[in-house]
């Protein structure tokens, strides 16, 4: 049997797992931001999630779909960022164990946040790949569930924010979504195209980490140099399953420069009074880049997360 | 007939007006913030409202309760801040006119935000009191509804966040609420005490604007010097109706120094990744001041709003 792409039915089914633990996030129109972009502009506030990022929706759906054995033995993953916090949050919600491997020297603030959520955080290896390979082996030994960044239950879970967008703004014309591994844009695009194939889906990545864009464009998985400051967009090796979905459903893929992302953060602070992390600000940077194409359209910018560090905040508003 | 204090029934009745236009805001526990305060600490995220502050709940309830004549002639108020944006938002939601008087030299960003929401903003007078007296006269001429900062329908509306707190965290022991004119603490206290009179309500004001605290303490309305940087706490002349309610229901009233408010803003940025305005940060400043009294209690900090200006953000994180 070939690969079965997720459908809107999978995402609809994930709602019961997601809304057992989370409420929908707001979709707000900000008049002065709309003026800046030059068209009616809405923010999908995934930064309002309890761990500050959309991924928690996926983690909760993953945790709800474990076998009894996996549930007994726990969730295992590797992450230095929002993914790890999301898995920790979901595991706590279900009263199961979470083990998160991080490389030596991982950000102490993020480690503290994961531990605060009850996760066992283990330092292993010099970089992320070493930590991941190690925790994969541990997972097999322990009989738990290893969670990769684009596993289908995650896509089904995160797609629920796409349903919320369509519920709140049926007239939406364009949705702009930041892309790291691609689960967010896939969930959104599956929902939007199933409901109204005229809705334009624009993916955004940093020009300093263009692997997903280059792969989408060429139809072949291509690694690329990864130097972006935006942790949520920092993909060096593209993912096959999300690429398949994106090739079918994504209409355009924009690269924004890290400098434009840095400029978008203070604009969001000023016009929406929300702290937004680099990846989350990429959707506004993209909208400003293609503003002339967006006139008279109802545009939704997905703010995928808000976990900006104090140091980076200081840098961008200095 | 004497003054009838609002009851929980009024607040329950306001829910239908509030939730026609807003969703409940989250109440989140942040593990590293709990560690900092030394007890289980929850944030009530009124900064997640569409205009960035709790007051919009009151504005919507006010707009829903107008007479036909008032509805035809519109809402009139004076404000340089969140109150004006809330009235503008509510008026737009009901398709009625909002007129907001501001003194000459009012903050252009806030004027733009109110105009963006469709309000007619009129500059009049050298200070806030002049603007208010003028717009009161205009309201009478036009047959509209003048909205003062502590009008009962506002208290009923804002009290709905108190119901949300009790729904989400029935075990709450202490709720700390910033006080400007007092509508927020009154709504919260009415709800909390009606449901469980053991819940402790702590009001907070700036030591640089102590009129409400001095009046509460003495039982007599006392004006006081007003020099705080926290716009949402900047009350010089206390309000009789909210004072009556506070005397009955508020257990303690803490003054925090503006310097402690300024320190609390970066702490909230770091531990919750939320931008919080000065008034909203006062509840954390108070919790840190009385942390030894809070041990082993479930503490809710009301973050009343998030509308911090870029200049003030730069100042506090410099």
Chain A: residue nearest B40 by CA? A116
Q: What value does the mean pLDDT of chain B take? A: 95
Q: Give the start-end residues of each E strand in chain B.
A: 27-29, 41-45, 75-78, 98-102, 120-123, 145-146, 174-178, 200-206, 252-256, 299-303
Return the number of other C-beta atoms located less than 10 Å from residue A86's C-beta.
33
> Does residue A1 surpass a pLDDT of 70?
no
Closest residue to B32, CB basis, from A28, A47, A113: A113
Collect all residues of chain B within an 8 Å Cβ-Cβ radius of residue A274.
274-275, 306
| Main-chain dihedrals φ then ψ at residue A10, nearest 5 degrees | -65, -40
Rounded CA-CA distance B248/A298 in Å is: 49
B16-61 per-position pLDDT tens digit = 999 999 999 999 999 999 999 999 999 999 999 999 999 999 999 9
CA angle in degrees (0–180, nearest 5) for B235-B241-B246: 80
Amino acid B1: pLDDT: 47
Check CB contact of B171 with chain A, cutoff 8 Å. Answer: no
B289-306 per-position pLDDT tens digit = 999 999 999 999 999 999
> What is the CATH code for B8-54+153-317?
3.40.50.1100
**Residue appearing with tokens 């959309």:** A54
Strand pairing class (B41-45; B27-29): antiparallel
Mean pLDDT for the stretch of residues A109-134:
91
Chain A: residue nearest B22 by CA? A26
Residues 6 or more apart whose Cβ sits within 8 Å of residue B262: B229, B278, B315, B316
Range with the lowest mean pLDDT among A106-120, B47-61, B208-222, B256-270? A106-120
With an 8 Å Cβ cutoff, are A273 and B48 in contact? no
Amino acid A226: pLDDT: 92
Rounded CA-CA distance B283/B259 in Å is: 13
Rounded CA-CA distance B98/B144 in Å is: 10
Closest residue to A313, CB basis, from B28, B31, B269: B269
Chain B: residue nearest A277 by CA? B273
**Residue appearing with tokens 């939007």:** A192
Amino acid A81: pLDDT: 83
Please give the C-alpha separations between residue A300 and each of A123, A168, A177, B156, B275, in angstroms, as whole numbers: 38, 11, 9, 33, 21
DSSP A53: B
Check CB contact of B167 with chain A, cutoff 8 Å. Answer: no
Tokens of B207: 């030591």
| Main-chain dihedrals φ then ψ at residue A78, nearest 5 degrees | -125, 135
Check CB contact of B143 with chain A, cutoff 8 Å. Answer: no
Check CB contact of B195 with chain A, cutoff 8 Å. Answer: no
Amino acid B5: pLDDT: 87
Rounded CA-CA distance A137/A312 in Å is: 35
> Does residue B128 surpass a pLDDT of 90?
no
Q: Which residue has the higher pLDDT, A94 or A318?
A: A94
Amino acid A182: pLDDT: 97
Check CB contact of B109 with chain A, cutoff 8 Å. Answer: yes
A222-277 per-position pLDDT tens digit = 999 999 999 999 999 999 999 999 999 999 999 999 999 999 999 999 999 999 99
Check CB contact of B117 with chain A, cutoff 8 Å. Answer: yes
Rounded CA-CA distance B318/B312 in Å is: 10
User: Which of A127, A118, A121 has the alpha carbon at shortest distance from A100?
Assistant: A121
Mean pLDDT for the stretch of residues B183-204:
98
In angstroms, the separation between the Cα of residue B183 and the nearest Cα of chain A is: 23
Q: At what angle do helices B8-18 and B55-64 cross, to 10 degrees?
A: 90
| A–B interface: beta-carbon pairs under 8 A | 73
> Does residue B317 surpass a pLDDT of 60?
yes
Collect all residues of chain B within an 8 Å Cβ-Cβ radius of residue A313.
269, 317
Quick one: pLDDT band at residue B154, thresholds 50, 70, 90?
Answer: very high
With an 8 Å Cβ cutoff, are A313 and B109 in contact? no
Mean pLDDT for the stretch of residues A274-297:
98
User: Which of B254, B242, B103, B122 has the alpha carbon at shortest distance from B181?
Assistant: B242
Amino acid A127: pLDDT: 83
| Main-chain dihedrals φ then ψ at residue B221, nearest 5 degrees | -65, 120
Amino acid A2: pLDDT: 59
Check CB contact of A32 with chain B, cutoff 8 Å. Answer: yes
Chain B: residue nearest A270 by CA? B310
Quick one: pLDDT band at residue B157, thresholds 50, 70, 90?
Answer: very high
H/E run at residue A270? helix A258-272
Collect all residues of chain A within an 8 Å Cβ-Cβ radius of residue B270.
109, 310
User: Which of A216, A154, A211, A225 has the alpha carbon at shortest distance from A187?
Assistant: A154
In angstroms, the separation between the Cα of residue B103 and the nearest Cα of chain A is: 21
Instruction: Report the DSSP beta bridge partners of residue A312.
Output: none
Residue of B27, B273, B304, B309 to mutate, testing the A interface (most A Cβ within 10 Å of its Cβ): B273
Asked whether the beta carbons of A154 and A82 are under 8 A apart, the reply is: no
Rounded CA-CA distance B269/B139 in Å is: 41
In angstroms, the separation between the Cα of residue A48 and the nearest Cα of chain B is: 7
Asked whether the beta carbons of A230 and A206 are under 8 A apart, the reply is: yes
Return the number of other C-beta atoms located less than 10 Å from residue B142's C-beta.
15
With an 8 Å Cβ cutoff, are B275 and A270 in contact? no
Mean pLDDT for the stretch of residues B133-157:
95
Collect all residues of chain B within an 8 Å Cβ-Cβ radius of residue A116.
30-32, 34-35
Closest residue to B273, CB basis, from A24, A275, A314: A275
Closest residue to B112, CB basis, from A23, A32, A317: A32
How many CA atoms within 13 Å lie on the side-chain side of B26?
23
> Does residue A298 surpass a pLDDT of 60?
yes
Chain B: residue nearest A116 by CA? B31
With an 8 Å Cβ cutoff, are A273 and B35 in contact? no
Residue B186 CA, chain-centre distance (Å), reads 10
Instruction: Report the DSSP beta bridge partners of residue A205.
Output: A255
The strand order across the sheet containing A120-123 reads: A120-123, A98-102, A75-78, A145-146
A17-73 per-position pLDDT tens digit = 999 999 999 999 999 999 999 999 999 999 999 999 999 999 999 999 999 999 999
Mean pLDDT for the stretch of residues B94-100:
97
The strand order across the sheet containing B75-78 reads: B120-123, B98-102, B75-78, B145-146
Q: Give the start-end residues of each E strand in A198-285.
A: 200-206, 252-256
Closest residue to B310, CB basis, from A112, A266, A314: A266
| Main-chain dihedrals φ then ψ at residue A239, nearest 5 degrees | -110, 130
Quick one: pLDDT band at residue B3, thresholds 50, 70, 90?
Answer: low
Amino acid A4: pLDDT: 79
Strand pairing class (B200-206; A174-178): unpaired
Tokens of B251: 């257990």
Check CB contact of A314 with chain B, cutoff 8 Å. Answer: yes
CA angle in degrees (0–180, nearest 5) for A49-A101-A277: 35
Residues of chain A with CATH 3.40.50.1100: 8-54+153-317, 56-149
Range with the lowest mean pLDDT among A193-197, A296-300, B100-104? B100-104
Return the number of other C-beta atoms located less than 10 Å from residue A3's C-beta.
9
Q: Which fold has domain B56-149?
A: Rossmann fold (3.40.50)
């Amino acid at each position: 049997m070939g690969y079965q792409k997720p459908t809107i039915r999978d995402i609809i089914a994930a709602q019961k797992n997601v809304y057992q633990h989370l409420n929908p996030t707001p979709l707000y129109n900000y008049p002065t931001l709309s003026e800046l972009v030059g068209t009616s502009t809405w923010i999908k506030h995934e930064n309002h999630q309890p761990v500050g990022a959309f991924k928690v929706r996926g983690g909760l759906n993953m945790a709800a779909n474990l076998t009894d054995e996996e549930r007994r033995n726990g969730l295992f993953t590797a992450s230095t960022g929002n993914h790890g916090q999301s898995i920790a949050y979901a595991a706590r919600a279900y009263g199961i164990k979470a083990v998160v491997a991080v490389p030596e020297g991982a950000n102490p603030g993020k480690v503290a946040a994961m531990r605060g959520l009850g996760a066992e955080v283990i330092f292993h290896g010099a970089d992320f790949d070493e930590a991941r390979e190690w925790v994969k082996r541990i997972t097999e030994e322990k009989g738990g569930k290893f969670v990769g960044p684009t596993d289908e239950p995650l896509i089904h879970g995160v797609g629920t924010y796409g349903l919320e967008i369509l519920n709140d703004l049926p007239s939406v014309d364009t949705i702009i979504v930041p892309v790291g591994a691609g689960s967010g844009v896939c969930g959104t695009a599956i929902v939007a195209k199933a409901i109204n194939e005229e809705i334009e889906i624009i993916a955004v990545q940093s020009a300093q980490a263009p692997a997903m864009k280059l792969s989408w464009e060429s139809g072949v998985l291509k690694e690329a140099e990864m130097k972006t400051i935006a942790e949520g967009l920092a993909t060096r090796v593209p993912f096959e399953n999300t690429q398949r979905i994106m090739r079918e459903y994504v209409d355009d893929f924009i690269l924004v420069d890290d400098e434009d992302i840095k400029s978008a953060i203070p604009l969001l602070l000023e016009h929406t009074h929300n702290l937004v992390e680099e990846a989350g600000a990429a959707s506004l940077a993209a909208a400003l880049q293609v503003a002339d194409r967006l006139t008279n359209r109802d545009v939704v910018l997905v703010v995928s997360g808000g976990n900006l560090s104090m140091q980076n905040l200081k840098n961008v508003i200095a």
